[in-house]
C-alpha cells in the first residue's frame, strides 16, 4: 500500500489547514481528508498528535484488510485448481501416514503415491497387515497399475469430494475410497479381496508436468 500526503497551508495562524491523504492499494485508491487547527498551542499539538495516530491506525487497518483479501483470493484459486484436477482425473495423492486394520499409525517419508492420470490408476503404497494367501503375503506393498476402472465422483455436503475407484483389471483390489477436503487433505481406504483393509492419510495435488 502507498500513502501520499498532500498538505495545503492557510496563511492565517488560527485558520484550519486541510490534509489530503491518498491511499493507493493494489486494486483501488481513495482520499481521506482531515481538518485541524494550525499548531499554536499545547492543545493544538494534542490534536495534531491525535490525527497522526489516526492516520497510522487507518494505514494498519487497510494493510491488514488487503492481506486478508489476498489470502482469501489465493485460497479460492487453489481450491478451483484442485477441483478441476479432480474432475479431469489428473491428480496425485502423496501419503504421509498409514494405519493398518487393528494396528498403529506409521509415518511415511512422502514418497508413497497413488496417481490418477485419466483412465490410469497407478498405486505405489506400502502395506502393513494380514494377507489371505501365500503369493499376496510375499508381494510387499500395494503396487499395481489399472487402466480399466470405474470412477465415481461425489461432492460432499460440507465441502470437498468423495471418490470411489473400482479396478476391473486387478482383482485383488475391490475398491479405493478417497475423501478429499477443499484444502487437499485426504484420507484413502483400500479394500482388498486378498488382504485386510488399510487406510492412508496425506495430501492431494494437481498433476505436475502434464503433457498437452
Model pLDDT for residues 145-167, shown as the tens digit of each residue: 999 999 999 998 878 999 999 99
Residue 29: pLDDT band (50, 70, 90) is very low
Q: What is the DSSP string of 59-122?
A: HHHHHHHHHHHHHHHHHHHHHHHHHHHHHTTEEEEEEEEEEETTS--EE--S--EEEEETTEEE
Of the candidate CATH numbers 2.40.128.410, 3.40.50.300, 1.10.287.130, 3.30.1330.10, the domain formed by 88-206 belongs to 2.40.128.410
What's the length of the chain? 212
Contact 178, 204 (CB under 8 A): yes
Residue 30: pLDDT band (50, 70, 90) is very low
% of the chain exceeding 90 in pLDDT:
42
Contact 145, 122 (CB under 8 A): yes
Residue 72: pLDDT band (50, 70, 90) is confident
Please state the domain extents for the chain: 2-77, 88-206
Query: Tell me, what's the pLDDT at 208?
Result: 79
Residue 67's CB is within 10 A of a number of other CB atoms, namely 11
Nearest-angstrom CA–CA distance, 104 and 116? 27
* Stretch among 3-7, 43-47, 54-58, 159-163 having the lowest mean pLDDT: 3-7
Query: Tell me, what's the pLDDT at 56?
Result: 66
Does 88 have pLDDT greater than 90?
yes
- pLDDT (average), residues 35-50: 52
Amino acid at each position: 500500500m502507498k500513502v501520499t500526503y498532500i498538505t495545503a497551508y492557510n496563511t492565517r495562524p488560527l485558520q484550519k489547514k486541510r490534509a489530503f491523504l491518498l491511499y493507493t492499494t493494489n486494486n483501488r485508491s481513495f482520499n481521506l481528508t482531515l481538518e485541524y487547527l494550525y499548531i499554536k498551542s499545547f492543545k493544538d499539538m494534542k490534536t495534531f498528535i491525535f490525527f497522526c495516530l489516526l492516520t497510522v491506525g487507518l494505514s494498519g487497518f487497510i494493510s491488514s484488510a488487503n492481506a486478508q483479501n489476498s489470502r482469501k483470493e489465493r485460497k479460492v484459486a487453489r481450491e478451483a485448481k484442485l477441483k478441476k484436477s479432480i474432475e479431469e482425473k489428473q491428480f496425485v495423492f502423496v501419503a504421509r501416514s498409514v494405519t493398518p486394520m487393528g494396528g498403529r499409525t506409521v509415518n511415511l517419508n512422502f514418497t508413497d503415491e497413488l496417481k490418477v492420470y485419466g483412465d490410469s490408476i497407478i498405486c505405489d503404497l506400502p502395506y502393513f497387515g494380514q494377507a489371505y494367501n501365500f503369493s499376496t503375503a510375499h508381494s510387499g506393498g500395494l503396487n499395481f497399475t489399472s487402466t480399466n476402472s470405474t470412477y465415481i465422483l461425489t461432492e460432499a455436503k460440507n465441502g470437498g469430494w468423495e471418490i470411489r475407484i473400482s479396478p476391473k483389471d486387478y482383482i485383488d483390489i475391490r475398491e479405493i475410497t478417497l475423501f478429499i477436503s477443499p484444502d487437499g487433505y485426504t484420507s484413502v481406504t483400500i479394500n482388498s479381496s486378498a488382504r485386510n483393509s488399510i487406510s492412508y492419510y496425506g495430501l492431494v495435488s494437481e498433476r505436475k508436468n502434464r503433457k498437452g
